Structure 1
């Protein structure tokens, strides 16, 4: 039986050849319903893009894909360092896929299983919707998730909920009773994101202390220093302004500190600030933050994937890494 062609896929999906090509090479420009039809047709026909046919004929291509929002969040570079160190002396090529945001689904996730360029995949913090999960399983692409969990895949998770509790306890011990939070805005994603888990336990722990966090003292913003700065000014303009602010991560905390400086507030005497990650900016700023085991999460993820590749029958692993508070000048 002859191999299926792009013409067969187009005919099966009821679209033009150019639309099929666009779906594989630039899926964000194809409507979701059309993309679903094309990917389903390609699966049914076992279609391989021509440039990948020879590669697919090999038993293994020697490549591991790593997908994460690298350019948007500095912490992911450190997770990638953990992967690179673990594979430095091994015959694996690491292929990096950069995505814009951890708060929105990536269209590239839909096409990775079809391209057949990889022996395995590590996905960091990018929500995996049911359609993508089904395709990864159907295409038998070994996959390990980092900073999120799914029953179909091994995972390396961070105890994000624990992070919210740690910060709440620390600020309560410092005597703060009016607290605020600046976190990243969720972008139409049904999955529970790390920042939501942190905020939920931050609020519940504060409520247990009798110092509830009302919605009026929470700001959800696009990721970046400037949106965080504006949000901090809004919180500090409230009649009962917070005396401490918990930031979704260290870069958001930079925006909060900038707003405090613009208002002439003394940190931590008049405003305490806590970040998350313990990124490279935290120590120079004297920022109190929650340290994530970033490099360790990358190392464990790729080791888990390599174990899975060497023994496909190996049971899935679900690993949870703990967090620690790093106290510095801002509290």
Structure 2
């Protein structure tokens, strides 16, 4: 394997110049940088990340803490974050919580963080108090997505207002018997989104003097299969609602499948509105409240890299706007 000395000899420069050129540092002419890159390519030289981090004090690694890697929402956030990190020469160290919930062991400790990551991105998860204290003590830049924290900046949507908007759309069409299928978590993971979206539905109904029957509110686990299961339960009742608000598009897609199995027409017999604008929503004609998931990942990561560069990013919450996207799954209720 080639050494940095071999590259320096081939390019006719010092090893210090090779190091500066390969790390993109200033005070290296473009002509010299091109010679170094050509020599490194020809010799198949790969700089030692350990040596580079010792020299610069930076690892060019960002830790990303995520509850699930397989769910559409989290995959979208990771995709947006990874895109920005690649553009800036950073790598990802993924911390996957999985289904362990609030009783999980500490995911972050000093051995995992110290001199291994330059910053941490936390996606829709409340950290344990010990983890928060550790990050503050190590003075590691942190940005959160979805869950505000007084210590760090956050990028999120207004979950309360978003569900109010979805509910107001159905009320505006003339629906009064509206059901709600919420997204529970396993076993609650302690993110505020489920409670905020459920409260948004109830607030909108109360604002218009509409009753919320206990039987018209059911909970799923955010997946299409769960939406199908609880959708069959909700829509199979004699007093079924004429419209349903789903806490996510994945739940809504399951509700559409449940309506089909029960022989109900959408939107003539039941209207369905979701939240997210999932990539499958357009294929199924699902009316939804769109949120820019990938862009939230990009925004949070740009903010994080600004903090790594030493800029003051403050502790503000950036609320990203959502948009009602009208498709064919909602319409005024059919007159009896």
What are the residue-to-residue correspondences of 1:1-331 with 2, within 5 Å?
Answer: 59-100=57-98, 104-105=101-102, 107=104, 110-116=107-113, 117-187=116-186, 189=188, 191=190, 193-311=192-310, 313-331=312-330
The answer (yes or no) to whether the contact 1:67–1:99 under 8 Å persists in 2 is yes
How far apart are the structure 2 equivalents of 1:106 and 1:138?
23
Query: Aligned-pair distance for 1:192?
Result: 5.2
In structure 2, the residue matched to 1:50 is none
The answer (yes or no) to whether the contact 2:249–2:276 under 8 Å persists in 1 is yes
The answer (yes or no) to whether the contact 1:289–1:326 under 8 Å persists in 2 is yes
In terms of Rg, which structure is larger?
Answer: 2
In structure 1, stretches of 5+ residues that fail to align are 1-52
Query: Aligned-pair distance for 1:247?
Result: 1.2
Question: Runs of at least 4 residues of structure 1 off by over 6 A?
Answer: 53-56
Deviations 1:85-114 (A, max 9, x none): 32333121123333435x934847532543
Q: For residue 149 of structure 1, give the secondary structure of its aligned residue in structure 2.
A: coil
How far apart are the structure 1 equivalents of 2:109 and 2:296?
22
CA distance 1:192–1:99, change in 2 (3 Å): closer
- Aligned length in residues: 279
CA distance 1:111–1:84, change in 2 (3 Å): closer
Deviations 1:240-273 (A, max 9, x none): 2111111121111111111100010000010111
* TM-score, length of structure 2 as denominator length: 0.76
In structure 1, the residue matched to 2:334 is none
In structure 2, the residue matched to 1:49 is none
The answer (yes or no) to whether the contact 2:77–2:297 under 8 Å persists in 1 is yes
How far apart are the structure 1 equivalents of 2:320 and 2:103?
25
How far apart are the structure 1 equivalents of 2:64 and 2:184?
24
In structure 1, the residue matched to 2:16 is none
CA distance 1:72–1:99, change in 2 (3 Å): farther
The answer (yes or no) to whether the contact 1:68–1:99 under 8 Å persists in 2 is yes
Query: Aligned-pair distance for 1:163?
Result: 0.6
Query: Aligned-pair distance for 1:55?
Result: 9.6
How far apart are the structure 1 equivalents of 2:189 and 2:225?
26
CA distance 1:191–1:71, change in 2 (3 Å): closer
CA distance 1:258–1:113, change in 2 (3 Å): farther
Deviations 1:13-59 (A, max 9, x none): xxxxxxxxxxxxxxxxxxxxxxxxxxxxxxxxxxxxxxxx9998662
